[in-house]
Amino acid sequence: MSPYGKHTQKYERVPEPGSPRQTEGWALNEAAKRMAAAITLGDVSDHDVKAKRKSAVKLNWKLWTIFQAELTLEDSGMDEEIRRNMLTLCKFVDKHTIGTLVEPTDSKMSTLIDLNRNIALGLLQMPADEVDAMEKAREAEKHENANEDDKQGDGAPHQKLEINI
């Protein structure tokens, strides 16, 4: 058996390439599993246990930092309301993680674990065609609203001029 055998077995369920939702859901679950495993190691007063808990929390924070960076891109392609909600969650995770790194208690880590699992559940349960249909409907609605805004009293389309100061 390969010396890496037991390590590669951990990654048997890695999602197929080309499915960002599946990959994100898997990553959130993986981070949650690592934090849950760190909780079971023992009392947080033990220096080694505390270090392993912090390591798992830092890994989770890196994942959420990646999400946050993607969400700040102007061409993220995500619905604006969902994007704002996710950025709000990222802000919560940042603040909560700092407190958890200072004092990595079971309770604080469980909050992050539950959040990850709930977001992952949503990502992994919603069929891709349903997500695509929702995104197309939102785009059509935006386009329809834009066309209505472009028309003035005479029914003819007019160009909007937007000035940012």
Closest of 45, 115, 114, 44 to residue 86, by C-alpha:
115
Quote the tokens at residue 1: 């058996």
- Model pLDDT, residue 129: 58
pLDDT in tens, 3-45: 333 433 454 466 667 778 889 999 999 999 999 999 999 898 9
Mean residue pLDDT across the chain: 78
Identify whether the C-beta of residue 59 lies closer than 8 Å to the C-beta of residue 34: yes
Closest of 77, 76, 71, 90 to residue 134, by C-alpha:
77
Residue 55, SS3?
helix
Query: Does the domain made of 17-135 have the CATH classification 1.10.3470?
Result: no
